[in-house]
């Protein structure tokens, strides 16, 4: 699953999601690559799981 190269995404930024890709979205809040899961939930919040999102059509979205 793709992850951004850096972790400087912040509210108001946009990110381009690629058609056909599967993204793992963080639901625990401990990821250092928010809004994407970086696996931190395994140690920081073991009861949490990321949310998998399959992109049907590419485009950008605003980060909130
Ligand atoms: S790091 Fe938060 S769900 Fe994986």
- Looking up residue 35, the CATH number of its domain turns out to be 3.40.5
In a domain, 26, yes or no: yes
40 lines ligand 1 (CB under 6 A): yes
pLDDT of residue 42: 97
Residue 31 lies in a domain: yes
Cβ-based neighbour number of residue 41 at 10 Å? 19
Specify if 6 maps to a domain: no
**Which of 4, 25, 37 to mutate to test ligand 1, by most ligand atoms within 8 A of the CB atom?**
37
User: Does the residue 28 lie in any domain?
Assistant: yes
Give the distance (Å) from ligand 1 centre to CA of residue 1: 13
- Condensed to tens digits (0 to 9), the pLDDT of residues 16-61 reads 888 899 999 999 999 988 889 999 999 999 999 999 999 888 877 7
Structural domain total, the chain: 1
Q: State the residue range of the domain holding 44.
A: 14-62
Angle, CA of 21, 2 and 45, to the nearest 5°: 110
Closest ligand 1 atom, residue 38 Cα: 1
Q: What is the per-residue pLDDT for 40?
A: 96
DSSP class of residue 40?
Answer: T
- The answer to whether residue 11 scores a pLDDT higher than 60 is yes
């Amino acid at each position: 699953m793709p992850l951004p190269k850096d972790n400087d995404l912040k509210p108001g930024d946009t990110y381009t999601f690629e058609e056909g890709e599967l993204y793992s979205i963080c639901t625990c809040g401990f990821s250092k690559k928010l809004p994407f899961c970086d696996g931190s939930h395994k140690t920081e919040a073991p009861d949490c799981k990321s949310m998998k999102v399959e992109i049907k059509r590419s485009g950008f979205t605003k980060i909130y």
